[in-house]
Structure 1
């Protein structure tokens, strides 16, 4: 019997599906076509949690996610780092030397460039890695293959022609775990924590420099700071940040007070235990 449902973006067999199964084996993974749909499923209560990828060690941050986080109305309660392995898969009987087209999402192409160059194939875009496996399975063709996780081969009945074709074997994706609970339970005492937040600086000279000064003077380790456009305007004035610690820690409280003084929007998206992967 499952203990709730967890939403992810993509189709059954995607890396996000595998991440859900690994982190919450007792929950039922529920696929959604877009990140917005996955967020909405959690917000509406259809799913109790969401598993959302935010960055990859090779391809960088996942497009669209950061500007969706503050508007989602959800809170971050955890993170997971997942090793990413891609398989070249095709319908039974397909030979690697006969391939002319490989289907996958562009994000995956960027992580498998070396093998794709040696194959000399045409690339066909799909919305999701698992979707590429489904497409190849539904339209059997001895010249077509897909790049997808091993789980997708099991689900769609495909043979794996080449295993672990990612360019580097330390390929890792970071996922955030989201909840609709506006006041989730705090991390356990003693846990090393990360706090995620967003802010927009006021229209003042050197506002960003001044806003961030409190982190340095209070000895706060900032592990991430990313800017992105808001509302289609070509002004990188909105920022997503992550720091070590909890907001109630005295030093971080002071740093956030100084940040808030130089911003016209500041919101904490969540405080959660750091994944042990960070200390490896």
Structure 2
């Protein structure tokens, strides 16, 4: 029987790869060079699901992802949280005292700043954490190390010199699980749920204030509201938002009715169970 496939952005061994393996061990993780490629793999049916990072507790939202969500044609069916740990790894036989340069993507280098300064290491930016490990494996250098997830050391045959070198051990990334099914099965009614949606308000005075008023008056908890520019225009009228509850809940249904009245575009991107991590 052929295994189902789950798409992620990055090289094998990336944090997204670890997230796929941890939460969907029965599926085959499939790497893609860009978020667009990962979305397209799900849309085309090459992969049945996508695992996409959207925000990090230290670095904030992942650039570009929210811009791609509305145009992807995909639906959100789940969320997963993953603790992020970075390992300082090098070619077999390399010694920590001989390392002069650490390679990784800029966000990872920034999240390990204290360790890098303590070791007096120069930094070199790469496009991907696991990509740094792959590069080191392909071009061995006893003076260079990669900051990558532990899985990357296993895949590329590197040795871990220092473990868990991130500055904040509470470092966590939130992932969204995506499907091409336009009408996925609803989540079980026993589970607390999150609804993700986008909207663009009408060009009217106080339109945003009025559009959001229904959530307050109906007691709906809005956990996220982010604005985005569209088509290079310097007018922040496009919004991505998340709320607790399901669209069929009477309070949320009334809030969405009021929102729609003051919006020229409104689209629900997904209704999915809230990850238990939220309660921690």
TM-score, with normalisation over the residues of structure 2? 0.98
The unaligned stretches of length 5 or more in structure 2 are none
Cα deviation digits, residues 58-102 of structure 1 (max 9, x gap): 111111101000010000000000011100001012222222221
Match of 2:227 in 1: 227
Match of 2:27 in 1: 27
Match of 2:167 in 1: 167
Query: Any idea what SS the aligned residue of 2:72 has?
Result: coil
Q: Do the aligned residues in 2 keep the contact of 1:2 with 1:27 (CA within 8 Å)? A: no
Match of 2:213 in 1: 213
Matches within 5 A, 1:129-144: 129-144=129-144
Deviation at 1:150, TM superposition (A): 0.1
Matched, 1:267 2:270: no
Higher deviation after alignment, 22-31 or 108-117: 108-117
Match of 2:73 in 1: 73
Matches within 5 A, 1:233-272: 233-272=233-272
Task: Give the whole-Å Cα distance in 1 for the aligned partners of 2:160 and 2:228.
Answer: 38
Task: Give the whole-Å Cα distance in 2 for the aligned partners of 1:111 and 1:2.
Answer: 39
Task: Give the whole-Å Cα distance in 2 for the aligned partners of 1:97 and 1:209.
Answer: 58
Task: Give the whole-Å Cα distance in 2 for the aligned partners of 1:96 and 1:261.
Answer: 62
Query: Any idea what SS the aligned residue of 2:200 has?
Result: strand
Please report the RMSD computed on the Cα atoms of aligned residues, expressed in angstroms.
1.0
Deviation at 1:234, TM superposition (A): 2.1
Higher deviation after alignment, 207-216 or 103-112: 103-112
Deviation at 1:49, TM superposition (A): 0.1
Query: Any idea what SS the aligned residue of 2:78 has?
Result: strand
Task: Give the whole-Å Cα distance in 1 for the aligned partners of 2:61 and 2:113.
Answer: 18
Match of 2:8 in 1: 8
Task: Give the whole-Å Cα distance in 2 for the aligned partners of 1:45 and 1:22.
Answer: 22
Match of 2:63 in 1: 63
Match of 2:45 in 1: 45
Task: Give the whole-Å Cα distance in 2 for the aligned partners of 1:233 and 1:90.
Answer: 45
Query: Any idea what SS the aligned residue of 2:70 has?
Result: coil
Cα deviation digits, residues 139-188 of structure 1 (max 9, x gap): 11111110000000000010111100111111100000000000000001
Task: Give the whole-Å Cα distance in 1 for the aligned partners of 2:111 and 2:102.
Answer: 14
The unaligned stretches of length 5 or more in structure 1 are none
Query: Any idea what SS the aligned residue of 1:69 has?
Result: helix
Match of 1:115 in 2: 115
Task: Give the whole-Å Cα distance in 1 for the aligned partners of 2:110 and 2:194.
Answer: 29
Higher deviation after alignment, 99-108 or 149-158: 99-108
Task: Give the whole-Å Cα distance in 2 for the aligned partners of 1:208 and 1:123.
Answer: 43
Deviation at 1:2, TM superposition (A): 5.3
TM-score, with normalisation over the residues of structure 1? 0.98
Change (3 A) 1:110 1:235: farther
The number of equivalent residue pairs is: 280
Task: Give the whole-Å Cα distance in 2 for the aligned partners of 1:114 and 1:24.
Answer: 33
